[in-house]
Amino acid sequence: MTVTGTRNAPDVVDVVALGESMVTFLPARPGRLADVPAFHRSIGGAESNVACALAATGHTTRWVSRVGADGFGDHLVEAIGAYGVDVSYVRRDPSRPTGVYFRTAGDRADDTHEVAYYRAGSAASAMSPTEVDLEAARAGRVLHLSGITAALSPDCLDLMRELTAPRPGRPLVSFDVNHRPGLWGEGQDPDVLLDLARGADIVFVGEDEARQAWALHGARAVREALPEPEIVVVKQGKGGAVAFAKDTDGPCEDADGTATFVRALHVDVVAAVGAGDAFAAGFLSSTLRGLPVRDRLRHGHLAAAATLTTPGDLAPPPPRTLADRLAALDDPAWGRLRLGPGWTDADAEAAEEARTP
């Protein structure tokens, strides 16, 4: 096994993201996988998506993972590194391949959406407490993880348990549940995701996936099942998102002052894949900046809107000046916002017009 540029003492970064990334093949046109004649190569991975989005907003980030010693592994390391993400702790495995997957163009929640994964026995599925650099993984202000990793193999689950276990001096642990039913085989219990979430400091979970994985109905039930994390963000699709915080400083939805709700934006959706990762990146970015809970949710929605209005899993986030200005709108103005393709270029276009005589 070889290691890409291992360092003796990892630099501390804003966010470390650990998890599998795969080469993604996006359809050249809508339709069933059986009917699509060609695909465009891209990259996909919940954790690396967050690292790339945060790097694009100016944060220092690191991706920790394993890929095959193959061309697809080369592509992932180079493409993710091109965003400014530190990839020097990605291990290369000569005996296991890099995972790939194909998907249709539709929304994952749509019945016509298809995904074909080729990840069994992948290099990333061999991640374990001894097969990743734990020091590099913990050398961040935030460590971002997802439930996808826990489903890849027993070794991966052991790694997740190690990283979410309480220990002195650990970073702030962010956990996106990301329940994928197709990854949980016979004998595997998605209730382990509930246990992992209890060990995190910030948890992101969709109301629909909490219902499917844990039979929990409603945001309040999710918070009651997860009393330990400092913040639990329950995403409610097109309705919005609610954050339950132990010490919230924003406007509250509930009389007890623990829940902050922010409605979702009106968005002309191009593709829905990757929006959850973008939301997490926007929320974490504003968390690192010390913004109020309401503004963290708004920045999450804005980052998600950037991805929703582009065809791929990753999209350039809105410039910070634009995002800050929109996040500061009063509630009626926020409710009137409607964003479509190209909206993140608004500041650049306005500046160019100002420069043009």
Stretch among 5-14, 224-233, 325-334 having the lowest mean pLDDT: 5-14
Q: Which of 93, 133, 176, 277 is catalytic?
A: 277
Strands 172-176 and 140-146: parallel
Q: What is the pLDDT of residues 284-329, one digit of tens each?
A: 999 999 999 999 999 999 999 998 988 767 888 899 999 999 999 9
Q: Residue 251: pLDDT above 60?
A: no
Cα separation, 279 vs 296, in Å, equals 9
**Average pLDDT of the residues in 334-344:** 91
Q: What is the pLDDT of residues 145-201, one digit of tens each?
A: 999 999 999 999 999 999 999 999 999 999 999 998 878 776 667 789 999 999 999
**pTM exceeds 0.85, yes or no:** yes
- pLDDT at residue 108, as a whole number: 57
Catalytic annotation present for 277: yes
User: Looking at per-residue confidence, does 253 or 263 come out higher?
Assistant: 263
Beta carbons of 200 and 173 less than 8 angstroms apart: yes
Write out the two tokens for 168.
């002195």
Q: Residue 252: pLDDT above 90?
A: no
Cα separation, 221 vs 235, in Å, equals 13
Beta carbons of 242 and 259 less than 8 angstroms apart: yes
